[in-house]
Amino acid sequence: MTRVGTQSAADLAARRDRLEERAGTWTPRTLDGHLDACAAEFGERPFLISDRGVATYADVARRSREHAAALAAAGVGPGTHVGLLMGNSTEFFAITFAVSRLGGTVVPVNYQLAPRELAFVLRHSACGVVLADPRLPGGAHSVDLLKAIFEHAGRDHFPDLASILLTDPGDGPEAGFDWSPYAPTAARYEGAGQSDPDGTSHLFYTSGSTAFPKGVVIRHDALLRESYGTAYSRAYDDGWRMIMSLPPFHIFGVMQGVVGPTWAGGSTVVEAAFDPERHLELIERHRVTDMISVPAMSRRLVAAARAGRHDLSSMRAIFSAGNAVPAASWREMRDCLGVTELSTGYGMTEAPGILFIVKPDDPFETLSETVGAPKPAGVAGIPDLGGRQHRCRIVDLDDGTDVPEGVSGEILIAGPTVAREYWNSGDDTRAAFDGEYLRTGDVGRLRPDGFLVLTGRVKEMFKSGGENVTPKEVELAVYEHDQVQQVIVVGIPDEKWGETGCAWIVPKPGATVTAEEIVDHCRSRLARYKIPRVVYFITESELPLTGIGKLNRKGLVDMAVERRGMS
């Protein structure tokens, strides 16, 4: 059996033991309480590294107290919702800890949304204070964006919003809030804050079935438990150093990229946006150990690394999740980046974070064939769940009954760390839960070895000639063609069959494969109704992506419909 990584099982076990020894018995804490504990243990170790310098654990704790003093003067207190219209930065996370000290709730705001959507989030979340970076990733100016929001909705549309603060004092027309006068009063915010470990730390807004995003209520202890579980599963070593450029309005980056390394006294190189060449430079300069990414990022990083211009010898690990990655791509990551520990997983904001994971000591084929086994969590696990953090059921899509092992159905999850509600949205909450179980909207099947095979989304499934088709199953068959680098299958309208499969294919460099060859390839591998009747070729740069870099399947449906209409 070939394992995912080349690290010995004994070494990984020893690293997990060290994490357990350091964590001791699990003590529920708030985010600020966790930061203070880390500052006491790791004080002068680097915590957050950015183009503005290195901030130690002690630095971030101090800044969070100073920010808490300033925010309290601005009206932030227990229960206040604080919107952060900011990119990745040391200040973003220092402010997050500051809000926690005051008993408030952080609402990371997706600056990529349209003014109409932003207006909804700010009103729906009942933000009392908004902090905004003068300039946002991508070059947008927050002042212009806020003006557009108010022009769209009107100032009266936000009855809870008392103030907006720009985060950078600066000295130009966008000069912002000056934190320095509040430093003398920061000492009062040292020690235990005003939050409850079971209280709300964040509202993360995520796309939903309705016209607008849903606010997922995340609790302090749940976020900390999940982040420790990931650190334990991946066996973070002492001083683990991450590079992270995923946007902070997604829990993936916050939980795994920033909070996760703290359990090992580690640090994070924080980047506002992903640029493969700059990432390689930073990996070399800061001796980065690990990177979290979505597949589109890891592919671009590998392509840039082939030039061999940078010393990547410090890199040991990479976590890439969000879309399927074929085995050949995992091998390229291993060989081009020199990493010895490869991981992927499956999770969601409501979990919060990773539910299933391929660990560095799992069989290599599980990286491309599955999304992992239930995540072990060490001391952060729940004793009644055998040390894990979640329970999982796979249920029939039609009648909701449990299906046998190996049969596909909707994935349901439950457990103390799972979100209990959507903010201010009773209808969404009722629709999402089946008793204590959360309907994930994802379709999958459990293998006899406990690994989960993800086969698609309930909403991505389509019916061709009255038969259900899961895109992932078709994609896995197409990936067996040796000239296919990437494939995405979507269901599109069809006059004869109701819907039919459309395969968008990125060929390997130099490939000459045709649509007819793809269809013929599928005939011996798939039932007739599953064979994609439409095949289009596309370059990787033409694939539509979401803000986090995941594939936008709806965009591919729209492109296919338009192309068929033009043909």
163-194 burial, b at 16+ Cβ within 10 Å, e below that, comes to ebbbbbeeeeebebbebeebeeebeebeeebb
For residue 316, being part of any structural domain is answered with no
Question: Per-residue pLDDT for 510 more than 80?
Answer: yes
Domain that holds residue 503: 467-566
For residue 408, being part of any structural domain is answered with yes
Instruction: Please tell me the predicted confidence (pLDDT) of residue 172.
Output: 45
For residue 40, being part of any structural domain is answered with no
Q: What CATH code is carried by the domain that includes residue 131? A: 3.40.50.980
For residue 42, being part of any structural domain is answered with no
Same domain? 442 vs 518 = no
Instruction: Please tell me the predicted confidence (pLDDT) of residue 504.
Output: 98
Same domain? 435 vs 397 = yes
Same domain? 499 vs 448 = no
Query: If you write DSSP's letter for every residue of 370-436 in order, what string do you get?
Result: -S-EEPB-GGGS-GGGTTBS-EEEEE-TTT-PBPPTT--EEEEEESTTS---BTT-HHHHHHHEETT
In terms of DSSP bridges, do strands 290-293 and 53-56 run parallel, antiparallel, or are they unpaired? unpaired
Domain C-terminal end among 435, 456, 477: 456
Question: Per-residue pLDDT for 309 more than 80?
Answer: yes
Domain C-terminal end among 399, 424, 456: 456
For residue 530, being part of any structural domain is answered with yes
For residue 311, being part of any structural domain is answered with no
Q: What CATH code is carried by the domain that includes residue 494? A: 3.30.300.30
Tens of pLDDT, residues 147-181: 999 988 888 899 999 999 998 755 444 445 676 77
Domain tally, the chain: 3
Domain C-terminal end among 169, 196, 223: 196
Instruction: Please tell me the predicted confidence (pLDDT) of residue 174.
Output: 44
Which is more confident, 505 or 295?
505
Same domain? 475 vs 447 = no
The chain-wide mean pLDDT, for the chain, equals: 91
Same domain? 181 vs 62 = yes
Instruction: Please tell me the predicted confidence (pLDDT) of residue 455.
Output: 84
Same domain? 183 vs 81 = yes
The three-class DSSP label of residue 244 is strand
For residue 347, being part of any structural domain is answered with no
Question: Per-residue pLDDT for 305 more than 60?
Answer: yes
Question: Per-residue pLDDT for 112 more than 90?
Answer: no
431-461 burial, b at 16+ Cβ within 10 Å, e below that, comes to ebbeeebbbbebbbbbeeeebbbbbbbeebb
Same domain? 182 vs 106 = yes
pTM of the full predicted structure? 0.85
Poorest-pLDDT segment among 62-76, 166-180, 499-513? 166-180
The three-class DSSP label of residue 18 is helix
For residue 123, being part of any structural domain is answered with yes
Instruction: Please tell me the predicted confidence (pLDDT) of residue 175.
Output: 45
